[in-house]
A and B are shown apart, each in its own frame.
Chain A
Amino acid sequence: MAGGARAQRESGEAGGIALRDVWLDRGDAPLFRGLDLTLGERRIGLVGANGSGKSSLLRLINGLIVPARGEITVAGLDARAHRRDLPGRVGFVFQNVDHQILFPTVREEVAFGLAEQGLPRAEARAGAERLLAAHGCAGWGERAVEELSEGQKQLVCILAAIAPGPPILAMDEPLASLDLATRLSLLARLRALPQQILMASHDLDLLADFDRIVWLEAGAVAGDGPPREVLPRYRAHEMARAATAAGVLP
């Protein structure tokens, strides 16, 4: 798979993510107050209520936002000093495909990241075609993204994100608006990728076989460990929260 070789090479030389004493405000309120996290596992699930900081954590790792204080190291790079290089190391997939597909055709979308890395247009296009073919999407290059199904669009987003060969893939509820069969089939594809995956999700079943779950609560780590330990506790906590809200939305 194109990009995979580089991903493996890079994650081998300096993989992983480390946050040290990270402070971040959201609006006027503090969100992270001295967050410490070392994320080295292959597949890590992020759970937590809306507003708990999952998206902010993913954004910090891609360099979309920078912390007010603290240090973040991503694939061996300091996130503040190498902000410009982070998109090449961390592919980002959002929930809503219409918020992230930037081009009218599939090939342009997948080739964009390669061209941004300085590859000549022709090579970027060829690279996109190779990646599409390697994922069973040969012949998709010419297709208009408007004609694709929602699942196909999200697959294009994932391929566009891994095209530059980042060692890490950050995903903010990438499967939330898809039907169950499409979710499972995309999840199987994600499992086969060489990238380290960091995925926020409200669908706990999808995270059951991940290597580690980090549960965020109001910007702090409320649970951290293998899914069989963290997920039942998180589920119970959320059920209790729904019950105590007594008719009012939590």
Chain B
Amino acid sequence: MMSSYLPGHSPLHRLPAGAKLLALAGLSLLLLPADSALLLAGALLAVLLAYAALGRRALARLALLRPLGPVLLLMVLLQAWAGDWSRAAVGAGFAVALRILLMVLLADLVTLSTPMQDMMDALERVLRPFERFGVAPRKLALAVALVVRFVPVLLSAWRAREEAWRARSTRRPALALVPGFLAQTLRLADHVADALDARGFGRPADRPSPSDKRTMP
């Protein structure tokens, strides 16, 4: 949803990626038990101030949160309904929604202020001890970078499909768009695998590549 890096030189940008990821993990853990709506609202205000300090382009990203709105509202309603619409239940519902909103915003603060390469380096360091269990830190780190890179690409592919629908129909875009989109996504994955292979990433010297299945005699 919100996943791109915003170039800049703010104090947040200058912090090492590892420190930011640790702080994000720590803050998220601290937020979990917090259930005072007032405290959470205060934290939200602080996070919003951090966005404001980063400038207009950071603030503009908040508009991308809109799709999250109905989901959060549903959570509030569900919590309140489960508690027979008592004051406490409504308060608890707001606390849950605020907590999720805060976590999303905090995570976005890290992505918008950290170049992907730094994030990959930090992740690689964290994963290195697991190498002996067959985990390939470099591949996992690359996978994370690819997710960040291709979220906007897939979003625009989905929007293009919606537009193509709207150009020929007055009804709302339906589930019928999904299979085609999935097929397109799989094709894209094939192309990206080729591009990685063309640049020599993890190319084996003796094993045929996946694309060879087309070419074997």
Residue ranges of A at the interface with B (Cβ–Cβ < 8 Å)? 23-27, 59, 62-69, 82-84, 86-88, 92, 94, 96, 98-105, 107-108, 111-113, 116, 121, 125, 142-146, 160-161
Q: Which residues of chain A come closer than 8 Å to B209, judged between CB atoms?
A: 64-65
Q: Which residues of A contact B6 (CB under 8 A)?
A: 144
- Least CB distance from B60 to A in Å reads 13
A sample of 8 inter-chain contacts (CB < 8 A) reads A26-B214, A65-B215, A82-B205, A83-B204, A92-B198, A99-B192, A121-B121, A144-B6
B122 to chain A, nearest CB (A): 12
- Interfacial residues, chain B to chain A (CB-CB below 8 A): 4-7, 115-117, 121, 142, 145-146, 148-149, 152-153, 188, 191-192, 194-201, 203-205, 208-209, 211-212, 214-217
Please give, as numbers and ranges, the residues of chain A lying within 8 Å of B200 by CB-CB distance.
Answer: 84, 86-88, 113, 116
State how many angstroms separate the Cβ of A16 from the closest Cβ of chain B. 20
Additional pairs, 20, CB under 8 Å, beyond known A87-B203, A100-B198: A25-B214, A25-B215, A25-B217, A26-B215, A62-B198, A64-B194, A65-B214, A68-B215, A69-B217, A83-B203, A86-B200, A88-B200, A92-B198, A92-B199, A103-B116, A105-B117, A108-B145, A142-B7, A144-B4, A146-B4
B120 vs chain A, min Cβ distance (A) = 9
A29 CB, min distance to chain B CBs, angstroms: 11
Given contacts A102-B149, A105-B116, A146-B152, contact A23 B217 (CB under 8 A): yes
For the complex formed, measure the closest distance between the CB of B123 and the CB atoms of chain A, giving whole angstroms.
14
Out of A68, A96, A107, name the residue touching B216 (CB < 8 Å).
A68
